[in-house]
Amino acid sequence: AEPVSEPTPPAQEPAPTADRPFALQLMGSYDRDRVLALAARPDLPASVYMRQESLRGRPWYVLIHSLHAAYEDAQAEHGRLPEDLARLDTWIRRLPPDAGLEQIPTGRAP
């Protein structure tokens, strides 16, 4: 049987980070499809964010759960993650105002 691949969602407008610079990052991977598969979970917010970066000279994709105005707000959100997501190698990071995030709708109602 052929492997089933999830359709790639359409590109969205970049999400502004100037007023919400703290990101709760769920994962990073060289495999974009792996990041999109996690983004399809039904227990994520209505929108999550993906950012392409570079690691060791290769494209690196990160999945961001949510953006926050303060570090403490991101910490509080981390405390509300489902247990299996909280066990991932999550971290809170400050993003530059021009971070170039791709907003990915998850299909969940806001």
Task: Produce one character per residue of 4-43: b if its CB has 16 or more CB atoms within 10 Å, e if not.
Answer: eeeeebeeeeebebeebbbbbbbbbbeeeeebbebbeeee
Question: pTM surpassing 0.75?
Answer: yes
14 has a pLDDT exceeding 90 = no
| Region 15-36 average pLDDT | 90
| Region 82-109 average pLDDT | 86
| Region 25-30 average pLDDT | 96
Q: What pLDDT, on a 0 to 100 scale, did the predictor assign at position 30?
A: 97
Q: How many angstroms separate the CA atoms of 48 and 28, rounded?
A: 14
Q: Which amino acid is at 9?
A: P
Q: How many angstroms separate the CA atoms of 90 and 63, rounded?
A: 10
Q: How many angstroms separate the CA atoms of 77 and 34, rounded?
A: 23
Q: Which amino acid is at 69?
A: A
Q: What pLDDT, on a 0 to 100 scale, did the predictor assign at position 10?
A: 46
How many CB atoms within 10 Å of residue 93?
14
